[in-house]
Amino acid sequence: MNRVLLVSVWALFAGLLPGIVFGQNGRGAATDEVVFRDPFTLKLHVDKENYYEESYDKIPYIYQGEIYLFSGESFGVDVDIKNNKIVGLKYRKDPRNSNIALRFTQEIKKDGSQLMMLKIENRLKQKLYLDAKMTIPGKKGIYKTSILPVEPGLSSYESWPHPIVQLVLANLRLNN
């Protein structure tokens, strides 16, 4: 029987406006228009017998230069560049013609284990650097994780051996 892993602390972390939850350090790009997801319920496979489930109201795709991803999502981001710096990000529902295409999934293996995977397609003419943070079911806090730079015109795959409630891509830049 599957058990729902609900951690009350997640109401504090993931239910608040992501800009408050993850903080703003003044770096990164601003957005002209905030596009919100429709309310949804996130369900993550934890192991053979357990899963994590949480309902969300309005959560933006992009807010104050940070991109918020949940498992099962695929969308695009258009980038505004001035003086070789990223100065704006805009959500695109259809990733096919965007500057950056993102896909974040949870893969379930035959043995019951799982893997979180992020695909980043960089359609810009410059190398893309970015930072990332995540929240994890059953753990308090926000954790930094590394993302390798993505070469122009190429795709990059990142994976994690544990479920991720929310992945935040921040500080997008064209040089390190």
**pLDDT (tens digit per residue) in 31-90:** 458 999 999 999 999 988 899 999 999 999 999 999 999 999 999 999 999 999 999 999
CA 74/CA 78 separation, integer angstroms: 14
- Report the residue count for the chain: 176
The closest of 146, 101, 103 to 121, measured between CA atoms, is 101
Average pLDDT, the chain: 85
Look at residues 19, 7, 21 and name the one whose alpha carbon lies nearest to residue 62.
Answer: 19
- pLDDT over 90 percentage in the chain: 74
- Structure pTM? 0.82
Q: In this structure, are strands 3-5 and 50-56 parallel, antiparallel, or unpaired?
A: parallel
pLDDT at 133: 98
For residue 2, pLDDT beyond 50:
no
pLDDT surpasses 90 at 4: no
Listed by start position, the domains of the chain span: 3-173
